[in-house]
């Protein structure tokens, strides 16, 4: 009798597990093919020299690829560029988005119109708009220089995509594409600040700026933490914009680490051809992922304070 | 006292003026490139490169004719639509199924799966992972096939699975239990009870997947290497930058860019509330 119950129980458990996997399977297949398998593949090829199908078998090289990454000056330049890009983007986009949110937080007709206008760039393809910016920022025929020249602000055309300014131009376009996102996050954050706190501040006679500084901003700590986190991690992954607008150039002035790894797999522009070095590219990408991960962990450590809401 | 009140009023006004000025500058900044694209697409190449007025002198609608016919944009538009819709459907169906079961059942391996899905938010190897995916599809004979492209574009969807899971967890379990007592199977619970309730979050997933596929550049570019006939608008437009007479084809580039952004603009006009609400649903949950 007992035996029977337990086999019956086993059958039910088996059935429940099978049912569960019927639900999981469609997504699981995609997840394994597109997420898990490529990671394992990349980790494996860190230790191989491999030029792709038709170039002979992958050759085991041990830690040689990783050692080469650490000697590769252009790679470390790209790491520094990534930090400059990320820092420039975050330091500008956060205050801009915050002020926009402060101004637009009240739900009026005009504000919701303004919100959708500022949010508009975030739904655009960064590749297509990268091409548009490429035309706009063109040194000789671009409309930006023409306006600046006509207005007398500059006397000679600025070479926006030249060595000196290309990184600034990239940051400008990144702000264009992202400020609406962060504005929406901030609006959500401001709306969560408790009405009671604001009310009592008002009763105590605090002015608008005082309320902002002493109540709203401190109370937004936890949400600010998430917003900063998102902006930092996304800065490490921006690649499309760089690819289309500057292709990492001129002379690696805007080469970021995500694009540097990519370069060993695929041509960055259609006018370029590459001899793939999959092993080395894999090593570059893994080191980059570790750097990005380390920054995230350090940030989370440092930002613990933001969780202390009064 | 009165003076203080007046100065307070004065400073409030100053803050107001600054706010409006700031807002106007930001709105011009965000809208200008889009208007430039649309108006520029109706100018001649000479007008574009010599710095004419903001609006076209004569509206050059033949730019669109050239883009659609000579640059083959009818085909690319069709590809974009097919791909955006297919990835959207595939993502919604798979995320709904997986998110539901992860929220409602314990099964062997669930803990490991959840850990893996969550870790995807922190591990980012970037676009190099496209190569192994491409190679795998090649082995399966799917690298020239639209099915392969749909798989690669849909991807693992880890974030969206977790998003749906979170939403299902917010639905009272008593609803499921009542249905089970009434004789519903797990499939019935999903189809009849949960699915109608989680429609809002599935709409968010659908909207964002549609947008991402429509706008995607790198994945589509790589996955269409061996079959350029599957390229989308986004990829095709950017490729114009590398065409031999790119310098003489700014008007075609902008017409192409407009063709690529106008559909998404229309989607945005129809559901901009959902876009904005969806963003916060995904990101700010804690």
**ipTM of predicted complex:** 0.88
**Which domain covers residue B192, as residue numbers?**
76-283
Co-location of B112 and B29 in the same domain: no
Q: pTM for the complete prediction? A: 0.89
Tell me whether residue B193 is in a domain: yes
Tell me whether residue B58 is in a domain: no
Residue B244 pLDDT greater than 80, yes or no? no
pLDDT of A308: 64
| Residue predicted with more confidence, A289 or A107 | A289
Co-location of B267 and B146 in the same domain: yes
pLDDT of A1: 53
Tell me whether residue B279 is in a domain: yes
Q: What is the mean pLDDT of residues A134-144?
A: 87
Selected residue of B39, B155, B156 to mutate for chain A interface (largest A Cβ count, 10 A): B156
The answer, for A248 touching chain B at a CB cutoff of 8 Å, is no
Tens digits of residue pLDDT in B155-214? 999 999 999 999 999 999 999 889 999 888 999 999 999 999 999 899 889 988 999 999
Q: Do A38 and B239 touch (CB under 8 A)?
A: no
Contacts of A16 (CB under 8 A, 6+ apart): B105, B107
| Residue of A27, A131, A240 with shortest CB distance to B157 | A27
DSSP lists the bridge partners of residue A49 as A59
Residue B228 pLDDT greater than 50, yes or no? yes
What percentage of chain A exceeds 70 in pLDDT?
A: 97
What percentage of chain B exceeds 70 in pLDDT?
A: 94
| Residue predicted with more confidence, A271 or A113 | A113
Residue A95 pLDDT greater than 50, yes or no? yes
Co-location of B7 and B87 in the same domain: no
The answer, for A243 touching chain B at a CB cutoff of 8 Å, is yes
Arithmetic mean of pLDDT over chain A: 87
pLDDT of B257: 92
| Residue predicted with more confidence, B116 or A56 | B116
Tell me how many domains chain B contains.
2
| Residue of A23, A143, A270 with shortest CB distance to B97 | A23
> pLDDT band for position A189 (50/70/90)?
confident
Q: Do B50 and A131 touch (CB under 8 A)?
A: no
DSSP string, chain B: -HHHHHHHHHHHHHHHHHHHHHHHHHHHHHHHHHHHHHHHTTS-HHHHHHT--SS-SS--THHHHIIIIIT-HHHHHHHHHHHHHHHHHHHHHHHHHHHHHHHH---TTHHHHHHHHHHTTT---GGGGHHHHHHHHHHTT-TTSHHHHHHHHH---HHHHHHHHHHHHTS-HHHHHHHHHTT--HHHIIIIIIHHHTHHHHHHHHHHHHHHHHH--HHHHHHTTT-GGG--HHHHHHHGGGSTTGGG-HHHHHHHHHHHHHHHHHHHHHHHHHHHHHHHHHH---
Residue B28 pLDDT greater than 80, yes or no? yes
Co-location of B133 and B250 in the same domain: yes
Co-location of B12 and B135 in the same domain: no
Co-location of B126 and B245 in the same domain: yes
Co-location of B25 and B145 in the same domain: no
Q: What is the mean pLDDT of residues B242-251?
A: 80
Q: What is the CATH classification number for the domain harbouring B86? A: 1.10.3720.10
Chain B residues closer than 8 Å to A42 by CB: 125, 128-129, 132
Residue B65 pLDDT greater than 50, yes or no? yes
Tell me whether residue B98 is in a domain: yes
Most confident of the following: A96-105, B86-95, B153-162: B86-95
pLDDT of B66: 82
Domain boundaries, chain A: 65-307
Architecture label for domain A65-307: Orthogonal Bundle (1.10)
Chain B residues closer than 8 Å to A234 by CB: none
Q: Do B126 and A237 touch (CB under 8 A)?
A: yes
Arithmetic mean of pLDDT over chain B: 87
Q: Do B280 and A185 touch (CB under 8 A)?
A: yes
| Residue of B33, B120, B239 with shortest CB distance to A133 | B33
> How far away is chain B from the Cα of A51, in angstroms, using its nearest Cα?
12
Co-location of B24 and B103 in the same domain: no
> pLDDT band for position A2 (50/70/90)?
low
Selected residue of B31, B33, B188 to mutate for chain A interface (largest A Cβ count, 10 A): B33
Co-location of B207 and B255 in the same domain: yes
Tens digits of residue pLDDT in A283-305? 999 999 999 989 988 988 888 77
Q: Do A103 and B120 touch (CB under 8 A)?
A: no
> How far away is chain A from the Cα of B2, in angstroms, using its nearest Cα?
16
């Amino acid at each position: 009798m007992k035996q029977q119950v337990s086999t019956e129980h086993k059958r039910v458990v088996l059935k429940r597990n099978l049912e569960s996997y019927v639900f999981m399977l469609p997504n699981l297949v995609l997840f394994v093919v597109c997420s898990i398998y490529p990671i394992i593949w990349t980790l494996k090829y860190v230790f191989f020299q491999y030029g792709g199908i038709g170039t002979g078998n992958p050759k085991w090289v041990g830690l040689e690829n990783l050692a080469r990454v650490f000697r590769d000056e252009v790679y470390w330049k790209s790491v520094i560029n990534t930090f400059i890009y990320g820092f420039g983007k975050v330091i500008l986009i956060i205050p801009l988005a915050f002020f926009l949110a402060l101004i637009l937080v009240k739900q009026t007709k005009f504000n919701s119109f303004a919100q959708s206008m500022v949010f508009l760039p975030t739904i655009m393809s960064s590749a297509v708009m990268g091409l548009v910016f490429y035309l706009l920022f063109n040194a000789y025929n671009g409309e930006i220089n023409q306006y600046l020249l006509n207005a007398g602000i500059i006397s000679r055309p600025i070479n926006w995509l030249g060595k000196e300014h290309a990184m600034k131009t990239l940051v400008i376009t990144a702000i264009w594409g992202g400020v609406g996102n962060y504005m929406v996050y901030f609006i959500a954050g401001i709306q969560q600040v408790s009405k009671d706190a604001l009310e009592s501040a008002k009763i105590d006679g605090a002015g608008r700026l005082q309320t902002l500084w002493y109540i709203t901003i401190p109370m937004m700590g936890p949400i600010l933490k998430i917003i900063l986190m998102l902006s930092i991690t996304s800065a490490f992954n921006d690649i499309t914009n760089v690819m289309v607008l500057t292709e990492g150039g001129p002379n690696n002035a805007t080469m970021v680490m995500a694009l540097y790894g990519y370069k060993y797999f695929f041509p960055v522009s259609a006018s370029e051809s590459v001899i793939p070095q999959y092993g080395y590219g894999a090593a570059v990408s893994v080191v980059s992922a570790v750097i990005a991960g380390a920054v995230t962990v350090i940030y989370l450590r440092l930002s613990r304070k933001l969780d202390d809401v009064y | 006292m009165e003076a203080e009140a007046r100065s307070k009023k004065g400073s409030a006004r100053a803050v107001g003026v600054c706010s409006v000025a700031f807002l106007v500058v930001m709105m011009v900044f965000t809208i200008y490139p889009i208007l430039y694209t649309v108006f520029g697409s109706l100018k001649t190449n000479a007008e574009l490169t010599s710095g004419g007025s903001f609006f076209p002198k004569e509206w050059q609608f033949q730019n669109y004719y050239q883009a659609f016919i000579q640059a083959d944009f009818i085909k690319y538009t069709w590809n974009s639509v097919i791909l955006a819709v297919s990835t959207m459907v595939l993502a919604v169906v798979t995320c709904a199924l997986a998110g539901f079961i992860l929220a409602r059942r314990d099964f062997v391996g669930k803990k490991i799966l959840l850990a893996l899905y969550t870790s995807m938010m922190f591990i980012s190897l970037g676009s190099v992972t496209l190569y192994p995916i491409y190679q795998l599809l090649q082995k399966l004979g799917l690298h020239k096939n639209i099915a392969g492209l749909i798989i690669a574009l849909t991807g693992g969807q880890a974030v969206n699975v977790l998003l749906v899971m979170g939403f299902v967890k917010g639905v009272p379990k008593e609803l499921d239990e009542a249905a089970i007592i009434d004789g519903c199977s797990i499939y019935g619970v999903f189809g009849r009870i949960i699915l109608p309730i989680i429609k809002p979050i599935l709409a968010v997933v659908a909207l964002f997947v549609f947008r991402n596929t429509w706008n995607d550049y790198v994945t589509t570019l790589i996955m269409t290497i061996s079959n350029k006939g599957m390229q989308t608008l986004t990829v095709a437009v950017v490729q114009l930058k590398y065409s031999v007479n790119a310098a003489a084809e700014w008007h075609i580039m902008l017409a192409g860019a407009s063709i690529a952004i106008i559909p998404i603009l229309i989607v945005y006009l129809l559901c901009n509330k959902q876009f904005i609400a969806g963003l916060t649903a995904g990101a700010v949950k804690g």
